[in-house]
Amino acid sequence: MIPDAETAPLNAFCVDLEEWFHAFGISGKYTDPVTWDDAPQCVVGDTEDLMRLLDDAGVRGTFLTVGWVARKYPDLIRRLAREGHEVGCHSYWHRLVFELSPEEFDRDIGECVGLLREITSQPVDTFRAPGFSVTADALWSYPIMRRHGITTDISIVPAKRDHGGIAGFPRDPFTMETAEGSIVCFPVSVMHLAGRTIPFSGGGYLRLFPLSLIKAGFAQNHRVGRPGMSYIHPREVNPDQPRLPRPAIWRPMALLKYLKYYVNLKSTRPKLAALLREYRFGTVAEVLRRHPPTSTVRLALRPATGTRAGFELLPSAS
Ligand SMILES: [Zn+2]
């Protein structure tokens, strides 16, 4: 089915542009950034492959780019920008936000957006945290993002997950007022299934879920007029990517992660091609122009709990 360009819902297509070893939960030879240059490099070939898939479908997407990748392969990032894709920031060193201090996050995001702006000559105003790691304890990161010119954040999964995720978080795009200015939050798509709220439209879910279930997720969101958001990593279209070391059986969480990373890898590409045929996709900026936020909340500081100051979302004062 070819989606109708005028009436079909527009969904965001996002790529977290990183190397095959930028995966969380499994330690290996290339966990430490000082070893990254020694690792087999796949990101350019895999990204070009993904770009061909998007070209075939006439889709432009938002490529959230790891600064280290951009520094190493600036021509790839320039090409993405030249060909009409949106380039966003996925941090410089691909570390989980909730594991960083505000000062470390400040340095990291500053370094990344500065580099991406220099390479692309684009504003670079969209951010996604590695591993969707803006948790309820890491909302302190919003004023820092805003200070660095980030005006759209797509870091939050409004559901409970292994790392990252905020259960009960709004599901529609909304504006968040911070001490440093406003940011539009566009949460990752989730669906209700058997009494649970779960993501369905990207990454591992493309491998684990049958196409019919993914389509049911899109339908749930479209029924209430909400745009969907798909995301993928370049490595996921490459079934021959190098493998992280298989964790031992006595490390069940890491082993489960390993199985999730590599199960059904061959199925990702045909499922992605089917989704690109079935639905209309565009960049995050395009989707937000069509579905601007309809509500505003205020991000407020509350007294410190534990070692860190806490934040909460309050009704907007205006
Ligand atoms: Zn990532």
Residue 274 clears pLDDT 80, i.e. is over it: yes
Which range marks the domain in which residue 161 is found? 10-299
Number of domains in the chain: 1
Interval between CA 42 and ligand 1 midpoint (Å): 15
Q: Got the DSSP string for 23-88?
A: -SS---TT-SGGGGGGS---HHHHHHHHHHHHHHHT---EEEE-HHHHHH-HHHHHHHHHTT-EEE
Interval between CA 131 and ligand 1 midpoint (Å): 5
The CA-based angle 236-34-73, given to 5 degrees, is 50
Interval between CA 130 and ligand 1 midpoint (Å): 4
pLDDT for 133: 92
Residue 4 covered by a domain: no
Q: Exposed (0-12), middle (13-18) or buried (19+): which is 170, by Cβ within 10 Å? A: middle
Residue 5 covered by a domain: no
Give the C-alpha separation, 302 to 217, whole Å.
36
Q: What percent of the chain has pLDDT over 90?
A: 67
Q: How confident is the model at residue 212 (pLDDT cuts 50, 70, 90)?
A: very high
Q: How confident is the model at residue 208 (pLDDT cuts 50, 70, 90)?
A: confident
Interval between CA 5 and ligand 1 midpoint (Å): 31
Residue 108 covered by a domain: yes
Interval between CA 19 and ligand 1 midpoint (Å): 9
Residue 3 covered by a domain: no
pTM of the predicted protein model: 0.92
* Cα dihedral 74, 75, 81, 86 sign: negative
pLDDT for 167: 84
pLDDT for 1: 54
Q: Got the DSSP string for 160-216?
A: --SSS--TT---S-EEEEETTEEEEE-PPPEEEETTEEEE-SBTHHHHHS-HHHHHH
Interval between CA 6 and ligand 1 midpoint (Å): 33
Interval between CA 143 and ligand 1 midpoint (Å): 21
Interval between CA 18 and ligand 1 midpoint (Å): 6
Report whether 124 contacts 285 (CB < 8 A). Answer: no
pLDDT in tens, 82-91: 999 999 999 9
Residue 308 clears pLDDT 80, i.e. is over it: no
Interval between CA 232 and ligand 1 midpoint (Å): 9
- In this prediction, residues 206-230 reach a mean pLDDT of 95
Maximum mean pLDDT: which of 12-21, 28-37, 168-177, 255-264 = 12-21
Q: How confident is the model at residue 303 (pLDDT cuts 50, 70, 90)?
A: low
Report whether 206 contacts 272 (CB < 8 A). Answer: yes
Report whether 283 contacts 62 (CB < 8 A). Answer: yes
Interval between CA 230 and ligand 1 midpoint (Å): 14
Interval between CA 50 and ligand 1 midpoint (Å): 16
Report whether 215 contacts 277 (CB < 8 A). Answer: no
Helix (H, G, I), strand (E, B) or coil at 306: coil
Query: Domain with 125 in it: what CATH number?
Result: 3.20.20.370
Q: How confident is the model at residue 80 (pLDDT cuts 50, 70, 90)?
A: very high
Interval between CA 193 and ligand 1 midpoint (Å): 26
Residue 25 covered by a domain: yes
Residue 197, both tokens: 């709220």
Interval between CA 211 and ligand 1 midpoint (Å): 23
Interval between CA 140 and ligand 1 midpoint (Å): 20
pLDDT for 3: 66
Interval between CA 221 and ligand 1 midpoint (Å): 24
Residue 317 covered by a domain: no
Higher pLDDT, 244 or 107: 107
Interval between CA 235 and ligand 1 midpoint (Å): 11
Interval between CA 98 and ligand 1 midpoint (Å): 14
Residue 307 DSSP label: T
Interval between CA 95 and ligand 1 midpoint (Å): 9
**Largest alpha-carbon pair distance within the chain?**
55
pLDDT for 301: 62
Q: How confident is the model at residue 160 (pLDDT cuts 50, 70, 90)?
A: confident
pLDDT for 299: 80
Which of 15-19, 202-206, 277-281 is predicted with the least confidence, judged by mean pLDDT?
Answer: 202-206
Interval between CA 16 and ligand 1 midpoint (Å): 5
Name residues whose C-beta falls within 8 Å of residue 182's C-beta, 6 or more positions apart in sequence.
146, 151, 175, 176, 296
Residue 272 covered by a domain: yes
Interval between CA 20 and ligand 1 midpoint (Å): 10
Interval between CA 22 and ligand 1 midpoint (Å): 6
pLDDT for 59: 97
Report whether 27 contacts 243 (CB < 8 A). Answer: no
Residue 318 covered by a domain: no
- In this prediction, residues 236-252 reach a mean pLDDT of 82
- In this prediction, residues 92-117 reach a mean pLDDT of 97
Angle 74-82/43-57 helices, nearest 10 degrees? 10
